[in-house]
Structure 1
Amino acid sequence: MLKKYKMKIGAKLLIAGVVLISVIGFTDSRQSGEVCKDVVIRIANQYENYYVDEADVLALMTDNGNKAVKGTSFKELNLRDIEQSVEMDKFIKEAEIYKDLKGNLLVKVELRRPLARVIQNQGPDAYISEDGAVLPVSSKYTSRVTLISGDYGRELVKHDLTSTDEGKKIYDLIRYINNDKFWKAQIAQIDIDKKLNVLLYPQVTKQYVEFGKPEDLERKFRKLKIFYDHILPQKGWNTYTRVNLEYEGQIIAE
């Protein structure tokens, strides 16, 4: 009796396996001849970040219309190669492309958001993104972000900021300012000389800030907050032309 029961179970498993293999084979056979019906593009992080639109993404996917995607068999489409083509645009942080059950090609794109703009007298301007990447400026859209000037700008735009020790320090400074609501509203421009000395220029008040090297950020900004909260209200907002934060335990204002 037990032997017959085991044989029945074995037969059922065998039949189930054959059916599953047949279904997979049928699906693969059907999909191998299936063509892309449509391309659906979804762009994340696009609010006030209009450097790339759906037409730009489609142009990247098709080599400006020289390669067909819609109407092409999925067997002939290398989705990873298409993803890499889309990610060639520096404003695009990541692209994910896959086929849905309806035969459409879904394209999900995440954009980089600029945090600062490097302005140069002898070279093109550039943006610094939220992940430290150096981005070109665009004629399509301009972000209202903190400006970075000074002789070090030429060196700064050569590589993504996270690839060098100096770049990481400046990147940390930019992020610190942008992550704090008060400092983001207060600081309009960062000037960096060849030796990595930093000057901060405020939006409203008259004085510039001698910040020194982009180090000890917490300590220096804490001192600057004391200057804004306690010294300027007593002495007058435009009394001083400069304030120095370089020396530990001191705030020098003239």
Structure 2
Amino acid sequence: MKLKFNLKREVKIGVAVLVILGIIAFTERRRGEVAIRDITIKIENVHENHFLDEADVQDLMQLNQENLKGAELEAVNLKDVEKRIKTEPFIRDAQVYSDLKGNVVVNVELRRPVARIVRNDGPDGYIAEDGRLMPVSEKYTSRVVLVSGGYVRQLLKQKSVDETEEGKQLMELLKMIREDEFWNAQIAQLDIDSKAGITMFSQVGDEKIEFGKPDNLEVKFRKLKIFYKEILPRMGWNKYKRVNLEYEGQIVAE
């Protein structure tokens, strides 16, 4: 009885495997016979950064859209198309797939800029939320904090800001500014010297904020908030030209 039971089970497994292989073979055969009917491009852009549109994605695909329709689906390597789209710095992720009816769907997720690199001796660029460096666009300008100074030359040699320890700290700083409603509205520019020392410039007021290295962020921002919430309302917004946050336990204002 035990041998009979095992035999039945093995027969069932064998039949199931054959059915699955048959379905796969049928699907592949059908796919080879299917012609491309339509191409749909979907751009996921939660933060409304209009750096790219559907026409730009079509150019990245490097395919003749008119000739592509009606071509055999099997003749197009969708994975290669996906790789070409992902080479664009503005694009964080892309997925290209087809259905059994011959429709090709392209899903694209755009990167979100968190800072703009500005310099006098070359083109500007953006720092994305994931640290990736992006070029500027003729189509769209994002209103984000500006980053300038000698340090940006080093940044622009990298593919991503967080390749270095100073870069990782800078990304943490930009994240704190972006996620805090007050700092996001108040801090306009970070000027970073060649040794990664930061001087901040605000939207309101003439003071220069000497922040120092992007470390001890919570402590420094706590002191800076005291300066804005308690000192300036009493002394006047144009009273001070320089504020230093680098000394432990002190706020130095001149």
On whether the aligned pair clears a TM of 0.5, the verdict is yes
Structure 2 contact 212–245 (Cα < 8 Å) conserved:
yes
5+ long unaligned stretches in structure 2: none
Superposition RMSD on alpha carbons, in Å?
2.5
1:179/1:68 CA distance change after superposition, 3 Å = farther
Structure 1 residue 69, shift from structure 2 partner: 3.7
Letter in 2 for 1:132: G
**Partner-residue secondary structure (3-state), 1:148:** strand
- Which residue of the partner structure matches residue 107 of structure 1? 106
5+ long unaligned stretches in structure 1: none
Number of equivalenced pairs: 253
User: Map of 1:86-97 to 2, 5 A cutoff?
Assistant: 86-97=85-96
- Which residue of the partner structure matches residue 83 of structure 2? 84
Letter in 1 for 2:233: P
- Which residue of the partner structure matches residue 143 of structure 1? 142
Structure 1 residue 131, shift from structure 2 partner: 0.6
Letter in 2 for 1:129: A
- Which residue of the partner structure matches residue 128 of structure 1? 127
- Which residue of the partner structure matches residue 164 of structure 2? 164
Structure 1 residue 5, shift from structure 2 partner: 10
Structure 1 residue 226, shift from structure 2 partner: 0.7
Structure 1 residue 27, shift from structure 2 partner: 2.6
1:228/1:77 CA distance change after superposition, 3 Å = same
CA distance in 2, matches of 1:20, 1:236: 77
User: Map of 1:43-82 to 2, 5 A cutoff?
Assistant: 43-45=43-45, 47-62=47-62, 65=64, 69-82=68-81
1:98/1:247 CA distance change after superposition, 3 Å = same
- Deviations 1:137-156 (Å, cap 9, x if unpaired)? 11111111111111111111
CA distance in 1, matches of 2:238, 2:37: 65
2:155 is aligned with 1:173: no
Structure 1 residue 28, shift from structure 2 partner: 2.1
**Partner-residue secondary structure (3-state), 2:105:** strand
**Partner-residue secondary structure (3-state), 1:40:** strand
Letter in 2 for 1:143: S
CA distance in 1, matches of 2:211, 2:115: 18
**Partner-residue secondary structure (3-state), 2:89:** coil
After TM superposition, the structure 1 stretch with the greater mean CA deviation from structure 2, 197-206 or 169-178, is: 169-178
- Which residue of the partner structure matches residue 118 of structure 2? 119
- Which residue of the partner structure matches residue 243 of structure 2? 243
CA distance in 1, matches of 2:9, 2:234: 90
Structure 1 residue 95, shift from structure 2 partner: 0.4
1:169/1:67 CA distance change after superposition, 3 Å = farther
2:209 is aligned with 1:202: no
1:6/1:87 CA distance change after superposition, 3 Å = closer
**Partner-residue secondary structure (3-state), 1:57:** helix
After TM superposition, the structure 1 stretch with the greater mean CA deviation from structure 2, 70-79 or 53-62, is: 70-79
CA distance in 1, matches of 2:169, 2:75: 46
1:8/1:185 CA distance change after superposition, 3 Å = closer
After TM superposition, the structure 1 stretch with the greater mean CA deviation from structure 2, 13-22 or 216-225, is: 13-22
Structure 1 residue 48, shift from structure 2 partner: 2.5
CA distance in 2, matches of 1:195, 1:252: 22
TM score, norm. by length of structure 1: 0.90
Query: Identity across aligned pairs (percent)?
Result: 50
TM score, norm. by length of structure 2: 0.90
Structure 1 residue 21, shift from structure 2 partner: 4.5
- Which residue of the partner structure matches residue 231 of structure 2? 231
CA distance in 1, matches of 2:111, 2:9: 56
Letter in 1 for 2:242: R
- Deviations 1:108-140 (Å, cap 9, x if unpaired)? 110001111111111111100111111001111
